Amino acid sequence: MIPFNKPYLHGRELVYIAQAVASGKISGDGSFTRKCHDFFEKRYGFAKALMTTSCTDALEMSALLLNIAEGDEVIVPAFTFVSSANAFVLRGAKLVFADSEESNPNIDACKLADLITPRTRAIVVVHYAGVACDMDPILQLARQHGIAVIEDAAQGIDSFYKGKPLGSLGEMGAFSFHETKNVIAGEGGLLTINDPQYIARAEIIREKGTNRSSFFRGEVDKYGWVDVGSSFLPSDIVSAYLFAQLENIDTIQARRKAIWQRYNTRLSSELAKYGIGLPVIPDFATNNAHMFYIVCRNLDQRTKLIDGLKAEKIHAVFHYLSLHHSPYFIGRHDGRSLPNSDRFTDCLLRLPLYYELTDDQCDQVCDAILENLAAQ
């Protein structure tokens, strides 16, 4: 079987985990967590980087930092993972779902103005497959209306918009280090804060609503409960694993990009005759090779292709189900048609892509796709 994803050890992951254990401190904000923070702040210029237990937690922290409350509205793309929306539902917000672009699954910036009301507090953008949304018009619109922009960059590590790192453009950004991502920690996330006004409170919210971080820096003589919060800190064992990956991020990225390009080269001249599209990378965005996907002509074609690949022991998978059609939200949606989100729900197919995927395996996947399509 060629799996869709395969977690991997790249360098000193087990060595660093052993060092963390030997240090006597494996809870949050140990030495490896601090090393991860330093890496992100120095390499990408984030004003503040805070490791979290997941991207979901980073998004939930952003909702707390913005004081999202009942009656507020938050604009979220319909084609995304539930965490992008759930973080704000938990605070009582009303979700207003936005459609994708026609050419790629990212939020359609041109259609956002019509969704803004006096109750709109935030726009959540999701950089699908690590490819940047069209951020300039989104940021301009948000500033015009005094609305915060949260970047769900779960898939966006080491990717850029007009030379600026994803996660550095909005007020805050959220990253994932789940085992399916480019650099991994099993589970794990990161909150990036680009507006300094949120930094001090972010530390408090992350530490269960206490000023514990200030206490350990010697800024207060004792710490206590000063705000709302929760336990958002990951174990230092998680950060130890991640830091070993970060040390090798350039090597990891080079291999992933080589695999992505091999798929693209093999399939780009063949799939159009079957009505199948390939990923679109706008001029303003970079490709971090998080994912290689194809967009089938319809649901029937995709279903047959998934089944055909499975018969050849290749695991290819679809992705999100449009959230406005979800069992939880369908009765709450305002009835607007979101055709591009629905099309990607029915037609998008993700191919295996992981660091240890060989060239021969990549070719095997391509051959199987073309053979199955020819036989349909």
Q: Provide the mean pLDDT of the chain.
A: 96
Assigned domain for 3 exists = no
- For residue 172, count other CB atoms closer than 10 A to its CB: 27
Assigned domain for 359 exists = yes
Q: d(Cα 95, Cα 273) in Å, to the nearest integer?
A: 39
Residue pLDDT, tens place only, 33-48: 999 999 999 999 999 9
Residue pLDDT, tens place only, 324-338: 999 999 888 898 999
Residue pLDDT, tens place only, 246-277: 999 999 999 999 999 999 999 999 999 999 99
User: Where a domain ends, among 246, 279, 309?
Assistant: 246
- For residue 273, count other CB atoms closer than 10 A to its CB: 9
**Residue 10 clears pLDDT 90, i.e. is over it:** no
Assigned domain for 73 exists = yes
Q: d(Cα 357, Cα 353) in Å, to the nearest integer?
A: 7
- Average pLDDT on 13-35 reads 96
CA distances from 190 to 39, 41, 172, 244, 298 (A): 12, 11, 10, 16, 36
The residues, ordered by sequence, that sit 6+ positions from 231 with a Cβ below 8 Å of its Cβ are 53, 208
**Residue 215 clears pLDDT 90, i.e. is over it:** no
**Residue 216 clears pLDDT 70, i.e. is over it:** no
- Average pLDDT on 297-324 reads 97
Q: d(Cα 312, Cα 139) in Å, to the nearest integer?
A: 46
Contact 121, 147 (CB under 8 A): yes
**Residue 346 clears pLDDT 80, i.e. is over it:** yes
The residues, ordered by sequence, that sit 6+ positions from 189 with a Cβ below 8 Å of its Cβ are 51, 52, 53, 54, 55, 56, 57, 58, 154, 174, 175, 176, 177, 234
Edge-to-edge strand ranges of the sheet holding 148-152? 48-52, 189-193, 172-176, 148-152, 120-126, 73-77, 94-98
Q: Do both 274 and 371 map to the same domain?
A: yes
Assigned domain for 177 exists = yes
User: Inter-axis angle of helices 249-267 and 359-375, to 10 degrees?
Assistant: 30
Whose tokens are 């799996």? That residue is: 3
User: Where a domain ends, among 201, 220, 246?
Assistant: 246
Residue pLDDT, tens place only, 154-182: 999 999 999 999 999 999 999 999 999 99
Q: Which CATH number belongs to the domain containing residue 49 in this structure?
A: 3.40.640.10
Q: Do both 221 and 314 map to the same domain?
A: no
User: Where a domain ends, among 197, 229, 246?
Assistant: 246
Assigned domain for 333 exists = yes
- Band (pLDDT 50/70/90 cuts) for residue 222 is confident
Q: Do both 297 and 171 map to the same domain?
A: no
Q: Which of 63, 40, 47 minimizes the C-alpha distance to 196? A: 47
Query: How many domains does one find in the chain?
Result: 2
Assigned domain for 8 exists = no
Q: Please name the helix (run of DSSP H) or strand (run of DSSP E) that holds residue 203, with its range, or none.
A: helix 199-206
Q: Which CATH number belongs to the domain containing residue 339 in this structure?
A: 3.90.1150.10
**Residue 11 clears pLDDT 90, i.e. is over it:** no
- Average pLDDT on 269-287 reads 96
**Residue 355 clears pLDDT 70, i.e. is over it:** yes
**Residue 142 clears pLDDT 80, i.e. is over it:** yes
Q: Do both 242 and 253 map to the same domain?
A: no
Q: Do both 144 and 178 map to the same domain?
A: yes
Contact 190, 39 (CB under 8 A): no
Q: Do both 225 and 328 map to the same domain?
A: no
Residue pLDDT, tens place only, 189-208: 999 999 999 999 999 999 98
Assigned domain for 33 exists = yes
**Residue 240 clears pLDDT 90, i.e. is over it:** yes
Percent of the chain with pLDDT over 70: 99
Q: Do both 33 and 113 map to the same domain?
A: yes
Q: Do both 216 and 259 map to the same domain?
A: no
- Average pLDDT on 342-357 reads 98
Whose tokens are 């073309």? That residue is: 370
Q: Do both 273 and 357 map to the same domain?
A: yes
Residue pLDDT, tens place only, 55-68: 999 999 999 999 99
Q: Do both 182 and 296 map to the same domain?
A: no
Q: Do both 219 and 323 map to the same domain?
A: no
Assigned domain for 365 exists = yes
The domain of 332 spans 249-375
- For residue 255, count other CB atoms closer than 10 A to its CB: 17
pLDDT at position 315 is 98
- Average pLDDT on 86-107 reads 97
Query: Would you say the pTM of this structure is higher than 0.75?
Result: yes
Q: Do both 190 and 275 map to the same domain?
A: no
